[in-house]
Structure 1
Amino acid sequence: MIARRADPYRDTDVIDSRAPRVNQTVVALLALATLFTGSPIFVALQAAQLWIGLTLGRRFCLSCLFYFEVLQPRIGEGPIEDSRPPRFANLVGAIFLTASTVAYVIGLAAVGAVLAGIVAALAALAAATGLCAGCEMYRVAARLRGIRPGPLARVDLADFGAAPRGEIVVQFTHPLCTDCRTLEDKLRSQGREVVTVDVAKRPELARKYGIALVPTAVAVAPGGIVTARIA
């Protein structure tokens, strides 16, 4: 058994980045099965499975169980990422697959096929390349709602226990996030002073500053003025 940094059933705010790609593979195959057979049973089953997983958690997600219990112990743990983007992608997929199922049932087979085709194409793209349309939608929305000059022009340095004499970088992070560690190492290698905020331990600060995605990093002047968005 491999040593896991992130427990897939307890550390649900992060996820092994390979797990969503396995799930997308299953989604693509079942959507394609509906397109080839004309039967809505496949998209209906996948829609139900997505809704169950979203509602009850990974222990009730069959593709998640297959990855975490069968594949991951054999191939090892992949990079750990924020689980919110793939979760949002699953929500979008569940909505489209549900709509496809309803369309087939009420006799709008062409509409159902188009919706299933969209899901199949996007899921196959995500599975093959890692480019997840739903995840990117979430990230764009997160950036629009996150820290940026304008709506949030200042932070309270006392929140972070910082009293810098020069510019610092405030990075919102998670201890299991691979990209967070990579970004922090890069910033420190550039000689920048980095103050990290663990959103798992300080969720109130994540809410206060509208942090919807990690890593999020901003350059902050001594007076608390946000001068630049870094990530």
Structure 2
Amino acid sequence: MELDPRGQRFAATLTSIVLVVVLATGWGWLALVQTVVFAITAADPRRGPYAYVYRALLLPRLGPPAEREPVAPVRFAQLVGFSFLAVASVGYLTGVTTLGVVFTAFALLAAFLNAAFGLCLGCEAYLAIKRLSGPRSA
């Protein structure tokens, strides 16, 4: 299974907007909502709410993608996002605001790089881990 990279950039754009709002307001519950979004997309990126919005509103206007990307790196990136936002949510909701701000800011950096430049840090980390853990020849 492969994904339309434009959909991933769209999702990263919406995620960036949500995370800016979280940083500006300190709304731990919104951070928790984004954590749930990451959990859903880590299981299956095609089933996330942002993917549905992309397919319903943008894909019909854009047409089929010229290229596709494998799903495994995207799932890993979503799992990393889930981890960061889970920690951020705990920080905000327990009053450890600094923890929430730091982890939200890191997640925002990753989401923004994907939205603006198509650079998926989690995907790159996944590929690096695969290369490092691959078979070694003597």
TM score, norm. by length of structure 1: 0.56
Structure 1 position 82 matched with structure 2 position 70: yes
- 1:141 paired to 2:136: no
- What is the aligned partner in structure 1 of residue 82 from structure 2? 94
Corresponding residue number in structure 2 for 1:173: none
Q: How does 1:57-68 map to 2 (within 5 A)?
A: 58-59=46-47, 61-68=48-55
Q: Match of 1:107, SS?
A: coil
Identity %: 33
Partner of residue 56, structure 2: 69
C-alpha spacing 1:18/1:56, structure 2 compared with 1 (3 Å): closer
Instruction: Quote the Cα distance in structure 1 between the aligned partners of 2:45 and 2:126.
Output: 20
1:57 and 1:122, CA in 2 relative to 1: closer, same or farther beyond 3 A? closer
Q: Distance in 1 between matches of 2:26 and 2:130?
A: 37
RMSD of aligned residue pairs (Cα, Å) = 1.6
Give me the whole-angstrom Cα distance separating, in 1, the residues matched to 2:106 and 2:86: 13
Structure 1 residue ranges, 4+ long, deviating more than 6 angstroms after superposition = none
For 1:71-220, list aligned pairs within 5 A.
71-78=58-65, 79-146=67-134, 150=137
Kindly state the Cα deviation for residue 58 of structure 1 after the two structures are TM-superposed.
2.4
Unaligned runs of 5+ in 2: none
Q: Secondary structure of the residue that 2:95 maps to in structure 1?
A: coil
Give CA-to-partner distance per residue, 1:66-102, whole Å, 9 cap, x none.
Answer: 1122211111222111111111111100110011000
- CA shift, 1:45, in A, is 0.7
Residue of structure 1 equivalent to 2:9: 21
Greater radius of gyration (CA): 1
1:71–1:50: structure 2 CA closer, same or farther, 3 Å change rule? same
Quick check: which one's helix share is greater? 2
Preserved contact between residue 15 and residue 34 of structure 2 (Cα < 8 Å): yes
More strand by share: 1
- For the 8 Å contact 2:2–2:69, the answer to whether it is kept is yes
TM-aligned CA distance change 1:57 to 1:22, over 3 Å: closer
